[in-house]
């Protein structure tokens, strides 16, 4: 088995700093040639357990939610925020730029957490990052939870929804950015805004995804 490569070196070697289409205020380490990095990561996966590089792309749901937060900073200003399933850290960075008192970006992929650290440095904000799987835990003081593009797999979506509805019932503001993934909850949601988000056919089945930001209502 080959030696597992350093996450920071892998990220720097396979990405470049770019602005996502909907959020020019934020620069991220993003893949510039989608298919090669995905294939390379699959090879690494076979050798050393490296997960797919979800952190290397600004997904439509994350872009929409980040845009909404930047345009409505009062949602997070002065508050404790959890960016759950953070990927690149885009949403957490938007929250930090919008005046959040404290931001924790959580993703179980250690490469994602390393990408978050690099992206945080590139945007001159302060965010904590963790690989702990927080789904199901008790509230740790979060006043706002932000979730982008996490409804693509049934078991995961159902597990997260039950947890988030419980926290919403305890008074936490839960916002979800989603481009119409299959397992987005069909009820108990309040639509706040929709955006036309430019994407790529290597990731999606269209060049533009109609993507909405939703408030999750208590269960």
Each domain of the chain, given as residue ranges in start order, spans 60-216
Give 204's pLDDT tier (boundaries 50, 70, 90): low
How far lies 125's CA from each of 21, 41, 52, 167, in Å?
Answer: 20, 29, 26, 27
- Report, at the CATH architecture level, how domain 60-216 is classified: 3-Layer(aba) Sandwich (3.40)
Q: Which helix (H) or strand (E) holds 177?
A: strand 173-178
Can you tell me the distance from the alpha carbon of 74 to that of 103, in angstroms, rounded to the nearest whole number?
15
Give the rounded percent of residues in the chain with a pLDDT score beyond 70. 88
Q: Between these two residues, 114 and 153, which has the higher pLDDT value?
A: 114
pLDDT at residue 200 greater than cutoff 90:
no
Strands ordered across the beta sheet of 208-216: 128-130, 102-106, 80-84, 144-148, 173-178, 208-216, 189-198
Within 10 A of 119 (CB to CB), how many other CB atoms are there? 29
Instruction: Report CA-CA distances (Å) from 93 to 3, 4, 5.
Output: 32, 28, 26
pLDDT at 1: 33
Q: What is the largest CA-CA distance in the chain?
A: 50
- Is the pLDDT score of 174 beyond 50? yes
* Helix axis angle, 110-122 to 7-14, nearest 10°: 60
Average pLDDT over residues 25-43: 79
The token pair that represents 121 in the structure block:
């440095």
- Read off the pLDDT of residues 79-134 as tens digits, 9 standing for 90 and up: 999 999 999 999 999 999 999 999 999 999 999 999 999 999 999 999 999 999 99
């Amino acid at each position: 088995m080959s030696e597992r490569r350093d996450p920071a070196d892998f990220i720097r070697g396979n990405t470049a700093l770019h602005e996502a289409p909907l959020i020019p205020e934020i620069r991220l380490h993003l893949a510039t040639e989608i298919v090669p990095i995905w294939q390379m990561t699959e090879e690494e996966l076979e050798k050393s357990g490296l997960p797919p590089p979800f952190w290397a792309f600004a997904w439509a749901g994350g872009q929409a939610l980040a845009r909404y937060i930047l345009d409505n900073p009062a949602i997070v200003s002065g508050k404790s925020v959890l960016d759950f399933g953070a990927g690149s850290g885009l949403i957490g960075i938007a929250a930090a730029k919008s005046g959040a008192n404290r931001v924790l970006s959580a993703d179980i992929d250690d490469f994602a957490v390393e990408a978050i650290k690099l992206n945080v440095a590139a945007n001159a904000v302060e965010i904590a990052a963790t690989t702990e799987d927080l789904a199901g835990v008790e509230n740790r003081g979060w006043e706002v939870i932000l979730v982008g593009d996490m409804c693509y797999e049934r078991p995961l979506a159902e597990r997260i929804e039950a947890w988030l509805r419980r926290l919403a019932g305890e008074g936490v503001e839960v916002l979800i950015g989603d481009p119409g993934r299959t397992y987005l909850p069909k009820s108990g949601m309040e639509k706040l805004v929709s955006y036309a988000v430019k994407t790529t056919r290597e990731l999606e089945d269209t060049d533009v995804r109609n993507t909405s930001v939703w408030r999750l209502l208590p269960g």
